[in-house]
């Protein structure tokens, strides 16, 4: 008799996290939830699994995500019963597209203080990220200034990290930062609001894509917002940017950037009458990609093979339209 054994794939598991009622010794079911998203993402979950935050009022965790999923089977952090995304069109009718932005800015989502990701095939989806105290120190992030904590920082050797439909706001730091060797990441459908002194999106790795994000109210000196931002430092050489590119083969597509605060003096007054500055590619040929663009977008000394398509930059009454501009 010939016996044939068929291998069966292990089913993905959904774990639930409730910082109010959970316990990390629990099974992680909806009725018996875990207590910490960190424990769920690094200790409990495996490739293909999902951690869902049930409570939407408790903001207590700085995450250090070190466990990787696999291709097609990421480890995912999201919100239980996440709100639907919201469609918004370009208000100046300059772009032939409609953005879909997270609903977390108007409906409650699971909350964290910050996330630092060095693993691969990880997805953070429909999470509310903020550190309004502005004096916390994330022990994992390698930011260059005291009291500066980026919302989500992706660092070497991370790859294939997807950050989508998150609400990242009110930070003493950048909103979403891909550093050094972080590769093949996707930043999409996020609402990034009220951050500084770093940019809304920084791509310092390669082959990363930022698309359909809404970025607004960057400021060089967050302390000008008053309490609780008074401990936010002024960082030499940094200013309020919508995005910054310092890697290679990175792409910005269909992003809407608006309401940039004055980077020169830290004022909370919006720029008045027109746009200024330029988006430059400082490589060996020091070539300018397009000029003028509005203040607040630029590339660093290592940027090359950068492309930008159908992004709208509006700092005042006028809007700079990036359309099918590719720098090679």
Question: Does pLDDT of 49 surpass 80?
Answer: yes
Question: Is 95 among the domain residues?
Answer: yes
Question: Do both 45 and 62 map to the same domain?
Answer: no
Q: How confident is the model at residue 267 (pLDDT cuts 50, 70, 90)?
A: very low
pLDDT at 97: 60
Domain that holds residue 50: 12-55
Rounded CA-CA distance 104/240 in Å is: 24
pLDDT of residue 102 exceeding 80, the answer is: yes
Residue 52 clears pLDDT 70, i.e. is over it: yes
Q: Are residues 119 and 179 in the same domain?
A: yes
Q: Residue 187 falls within a domain, yes or no?
A: yes
Same domain for 232 and 140: yes
Q: Parallel, antiparallel, or unpaired: how do β-strands 86-89 and 98-101 relate?
A: antiparallel
Tell which wins on pLDDT, 24 or 144.
24
Structurally, the chain folds into a number of domains equal to 2
Question: CA-CA distance, 143 to 236, in Å (whole number)?
Answer: 13
Mark whether 93 and 164 lie in a shared domain: yes
Does an H or E element contain 88, and which? strand 86-89
pLDDT at 282: 30
Q: Is residue 137 part of a domain?
A: yes
Q: What's the confidence (pLDDT) of residue 134?
A: 44
> Residue 278's pLDDT is what?
31
Task: Kindly report the length of the chain.
Answer: 328
CB atoms within 10 A of CB 93: 9
Residue 307: pLDDT band (50, 70, 90) is low
pLDDT at 261: 62
Long-range own/partner contacts, residues 296-299 (CB < 8 A, 24 or more apart)? 296/218, 296/240, 296/241, 296/242, 296/257, 296/260, 296/263, 297/241, 297/242, 297/243, 297/244, 297/257, 298/241, 298/244, 298/245, 299/244, 299/245, 299/246
First to last CA, the chain: 64
Phi, psi of 325 (to 5 degrees): -105, 120
Do residues 49 and 166 share a domain? Answer: no
Is 44 found in the same domain as 72? no
75 pLDDT above the threshold of 90: yes
- Identify the top-confidence range among 1-10, 218-227, 317-326: 218-227
pLDDT confidence of residue 218: 75
On whether both 183 and 258 belong to a single domain, the answer is: yes
**213 part of a folded domain:** yes
Q: Are residues 63 and 51 in the same domain?
A: no
Same domain, 248 and 155: yes
Between 311 and 88, the more confident residue is: 88
| 45 shares its domain with 77 | no
Rounded average pLDDT over 55-76: 94
| 48 lies in the same domain as 104 | no
Q: Are residues 309 and 204 in the same domain?
A: yes
């Amino acid at each position: 008799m010939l016996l044939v054994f068929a291998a069966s794939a292990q089913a993905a598991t959904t774990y639930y996290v409730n910082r109010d009622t959970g316990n990390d010794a629990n099974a992680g079911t909806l009725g018996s939830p875990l207590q910490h998203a960190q424990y769920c993402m690094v200790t409990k979950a495996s490739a293909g699994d999902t951690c869902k935050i049930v409570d939407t009022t408790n903001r207590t965790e700085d995450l250090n995500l070190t466990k990787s999923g696999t291709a097609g089977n990421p480890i995912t952090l999201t919100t239980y019963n996440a709100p639907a995304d919201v469609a918004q069109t370009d208000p100046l009718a300059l772009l032939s597209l409609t953005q879909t932005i997270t609903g977390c800015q108007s409906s409650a989502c699971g909350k964290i203080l910050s996330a630092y990701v060095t693993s691969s095939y990880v997805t953070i989806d429909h999470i509310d990220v903020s550190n309004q105290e502005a004096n916390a120190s994330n022990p994992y992030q390698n930011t260059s200034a005291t009291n500066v904590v980026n919302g989500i920082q992706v660092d070497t050797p991370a790859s294939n990290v997807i950050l989508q439909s998150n609400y990242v706001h009110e930070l003493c730091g950048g909103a979403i930062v891909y550093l050094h060797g972080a590769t093949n990441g996707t930043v999409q459908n996020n609402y990034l609001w009220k951050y500084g002194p770093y940019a809304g999106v920084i791509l310092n790795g390669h082959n990363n894509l930022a698309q359909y994000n809404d970025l607004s109210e960057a400021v060089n000196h967050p302390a000008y917002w008053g309490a609780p931002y008074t401990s936010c430092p002024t960082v030499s050489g940094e200013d309020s940017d919508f995005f910054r590119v310092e890697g290679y083969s990175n792409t910005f597509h269909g992003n809407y950037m608006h309401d940039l605060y004055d980077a020169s003096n830290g004022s909370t007054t919006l720029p008045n009458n027109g746009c200024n500055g330029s988006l430059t590619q400082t490589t060996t040929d020091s070539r300018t990609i397009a000029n003028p663009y509005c203040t607040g977008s630029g590339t660093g000394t290592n940027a090359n093979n950068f492309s930008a398509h159908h992004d709208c930059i509006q700092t005042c009454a006028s809007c700079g339209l990036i359309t099918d501009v590719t720098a090679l």
